[in-house]
Amino acid sequence: MTKNIVIKFGGSLLFSDGGTINSQKITEFCNIIKNNTQFDSIVIVCGGGTVARQYIRAIRASTENEVLCDLIGIDISRINSRLITSEMKELAYPQVPKSFEELSVAMSSYKIVVMGGLQPGQSTTSVAITVAEYLKAERLVILTDIDGIYDKDPNLHKDAKLLERISYDSLQKLILESSVNTQASAGEYRIFDAVSLQILKRSGMGVLVMSGKKLNQFSKFWNNEKEIIGTIISK
């Protein structure tokens, strides 16, 4: 069976609270994939994490130029990608594609390709969705630092409920309701920003959002187990 899978590996998962690289998590993630290689291709899109946000803050303070801020975020996401590429050893394409053309070349000879951002004005979630649309991927998974999408911000509301499923339209409403002024600034695109939603809508794809904090849910997903904690976004 043909299986093309796209995974967004949130930048928040790459670093521990103190800001050090969480090598153990990276190894654990790569081992789950290496232990079950029943797929045709997999593209892992890496986020920028706290390091990207530190650089973005510093650049913003001196330039007030959001495009420059986005560009540094892209650079950091590409450097982060190398952490996964090197852990995958010879299984992954050794370079980080910077365009769809480079991605096609990479995929013609490797089953695993790791990449970061592409162009300013979007998040790595948008990249993951666009890549999934391009490849007609069967599965698209977003690994982040919370269990999925909640009906309200779980950091602010104790009674926030995890949504098992959500439609594009309900998600759009949720994004609008929770949007703040900084939402479209570099480093501030949320799990699901407006650009990502638009690409998702036109593609008609389904997305699974789940926590990568512990990776046990991802391991279940990877091994085709049922009853996974997370949110499915679909039409």
Q: How far apart are CA 72 and CA 186, in angstroms?
A: 9
Size of the site for ligand UTP (CB under 6 A): 26
12 scored as a contact of ligand UTP (CB under 6 A): yes
187 scored as a contact of ligand UTP (CB under 6 A): yes
191 scored as a contact of ligand UTP (CB under 6 A): yes
Query: Nearer to ligand UTP by C-beta: 88 or 142?
Result: 142
- The pair of structure tokens assigned to 201 is 């809508």
Which of 45-53, 91-99, 199-207, 218-226 is the region at the interface with ligand UTP (rule: CB under 6 A)?
Answer: 45-53
Pairing of strands 231-234, 207-211: antiparallel
First CA to last CA distance, the chain = 24
Q: How far apart are CA 171 and CA 45, in angstroms?
A: 22
Q: How far apart are CA 169 and CA 201, in angstroms?
A: 9
128 scored as a contact of ligand UTP (CB under 6 A): no
If one counts every other C-beta atom within 10 angstroms of the C-beta of residue 31, the result is: 12
81 scored as a contact of ligand UTP (CB under 6 A): no
Residues lying near ligand UTP in the complex (CB under 6 A) are found at: 10-12, 47-49, 52, 69-70, 73-74, 77, 117-120, 122-125, 127, 144, 186-187, 189, 191
